[in-house]
Amino acid sequence: MTDAGTKARLRYQAAMAQIDVGAVLARRSRHWTVVAARRWYTSVELTLRSGRREIRAHVMVGHYGPDLACAGLRVVSPPPTQRVLGLPLDAA
């Protein structure tokens, strides 16, 4: 069994993974794509792009992860991930 600290750390890492490069965030009816993310001690600086518009947003980070609601943002889709190709065991 895992302890409460480990569970909290896993929840925090999962929440931070939602705002990695490639994630789509929304504010009102406009969708923004995360093109860069720079982590600070208590916040994350996100560079967001929508069409030709590009903005930089600072999102506060707590013990639970990024506070997107405070910045007026919400996650539409998580960043794309690469799947590991499964090779047959007898392939050499």
Does residue 73 carry a pLDDT above 80? yes
Give the chain as a 3 state SS string.
Answer: CCCHHHHHHHHHHHHHHCCCCCCEEEECCEEEEEEEEEECCCEEEEEEEECCEEEEEEEEEECCEECCHHHCCEEEECCCCCCCCCCCCCCC
* Model pTM score: 0.78
Distance CA 49, CA 21 (A): 11
Does residue 1 carry a pLDDT above 80? no
Fold observed for domain 4-77: SH3 type barrels. (2.30.30)
